[in-house]
Amino acid sequence: MITKNILIITGLSFDNLHTHSASVASHFYSKTKNFFQELFDVNKVSDINQLVKSKKSPNVCLFSDPHEEHSFYCRNSCCSAVVPILNYEAKEAGYTPIFSSIKDFFLINEGKELEITDYWKKILDEKVEIVAISTSFIISYPLLCRMVELLKKEGKKIILGGVFMRKLPHKALEHLGVDYYLISEAEGRFSRLLAAIGKNESKRLDDIPGLCWRKENGCIECSRANITPIDLNSTNLSVEKIWVEENNGVIPYESVRGCAYRCSFCGFPYILGNAHFRFKSAKKIFDEWSMFADLGARHISCFDSTFTTPNSRLKELCSLLKTSEINKSLSWSVYARASDLTDISTVEAMKEAGCNYVFLGIESGDQSILENMNKRTSLSDNEHIIKACNDMEIFATTSIIIGFPGETAQTAENTHQFLQKYCSPSLDLHVWIPDFSKNSLVPIMSPEQKRKFEIQVWVDPIDYNVIASYNVNFYNEKIKCDMKLDWCHSSMNQDKALQHIFRIAESVRENLIAAEDTELAPYRSFFLPARILPAYFEYQEHKNFIFGMKDFYNRYMNGEDSFKLSKEIPLWLEKSGCEKLS
């Protein structure tokens, strides 16, 4: 059978609602770049990778300049958790998939215009008939329009799928004018769509649940087939060995759809109709991880909102991993809820089974805010899990949201004080970002809750421009934060929330909070994320690496001589499980 090529574009887009962090990174970019260049005596930040090697994984690139064009694009690599799913679906329909990430395929030129990179332009011209885009990490309709416009000029059939499709009204689909929209889960449906396209059988389209397509007159027609939730235990994945190699053995993974909880700030349970919580069995996960391990995987990065639910599944999986001894060569990281891990034996089982990183959705250090969020956790739960992870040497990130409806200066200060007593080695600080989409399903944005808390949101729905600017103090400098949306409620506004966030960040910088700041520290975007580093470091080495970097940067910003600091580099690297080559 002759196969056809399909280009599948996935991953994070250029959208960034966390524009306070982008403003900080931009303000300090030149100083931070100079810091790395002077400290390691290199011309480019990426050159550090030729000098500094992780002893555990000497091929990994630890450092990169966020504004420097990389020579190691993931052109065929497994760049998100949906790739193994779409790879299987495409092959099932007789297509050869070629994968790209959004940030590799598109670039923003000096004139701030979007364009296709030369590498991918050549691929489009020579090899591809169909282009599919996953919109799961796209939040800007104008950006999506620009992407589609560029691809339509190339004369290819275009398929859009993923979470963002669920939020777009019918008129928006007509305006986009692409060929097909899959507004449901991909398993079993993406392959049927590709098969129908390949055989030019338009009559089969109406049988595909969640599919919409453009007719010759430009109107959108939608399938009348019932959309039923996919049984995740009957799904299939296909992973290529080259992806494992190009990702240094790290595999992104998904095992649940929806969520068992209903936190007021979160829309995850409602995307693509995921109101019903579904999950793969422990045996299914174990079989798939065993397949990854056979291909050379060394670390599984789980993107599930709550991998630790249900608890019985978690314990069974830990037992399977330990009994099979896969845990000796395969580590894993998860997102977790504090209330799922109140039993210390569960945390111990995770550690023994190879779990070496947990992202903890703590969110607040004030009980009243936790109740407003419907977190169904307590401060004592949060204290317990932070302490348990620290004691058992499972590297963790504490996630915090400031500004949620009901937040006051006092509740924000309570969170500040909580973090000074209880914090993971890594801290993720966020200002509350309301879901501004029309008819939002996020609970706090219901008409009743908006009235109760007097919530108001301002955003440019057309061009997604900056609409508000605020000044904050950080590293003894005044920084202007340009925000793409603005909000207020009865007890706080975005400006006040930003001030509280940066006050906490200053406490991190001054070591009053014993953690690294993954969101606001200017140097943090120049090396691998906290959830990826555990694949290449042991626990104490990981801590030595991030805290050493924090100390060097603070001293540099305080005026200490970079040549003097560079003399301390070899000892820091040795303690971090790395070495500096001559």
Q: Which of 561, 475, 549, 414 is nearest to 48 (CA)?
A: 549
Asked if residue 491 has pLDDT above 90, the reply is: yes
Assign 310 a pLDDT band (cuts: 50, 70, 90): very high
Residue 436 has pLDDT above 90, yes or no: no
Work out the percent of the chain whose per-residue pLDDT is above 70.
94
Tens digit of pLDDT for each residue in 157-186? 999 998 888 878 878 888 898 999 999 889
Closest CA to 289 of 345, 243, 250: 250
Q: Which of 362, 451, 369, 459 is nearest to 405 (CA)?
A: 369
The answer on pLDDT for 2 being more than 60 is: no
- pLDDT on residue 71: 39
Question: In this predicted structure, what is the pLDDT of residue 73?
Answer: 38
Average pLDDT over residues 472-500: 95
Of the candidates 444, 361, 433, 442, the residue with the CA atom closest to the CA atom of residue 402: 433
pLDDT of 65 = 86
User: What would the pLDDT profile of 335-392 be if each residue is shown by its tens digit?
Assistant: 999 999 999 999 999 999 999 999 999 999 999 999 999 999 999 999 999 999 999 9
The H or E element that residue 473 is part of is strand 468-474
The residues, any chain, with a CB within 8 Å of residue 155's CB and separated by 6 or more, are none
Q: If you average pLDDT over every residue of the chain, what do you get? A: 90
- Sign (positive/negative) of CA torsion 200, 202, 207, 209? positive
Euclidean distance between CA atoms 487 and 493, whole angstroms: 6
pLDDT for residue 252 is more than 80: yes
Above 60 in pLDDT, residue 332?
yes
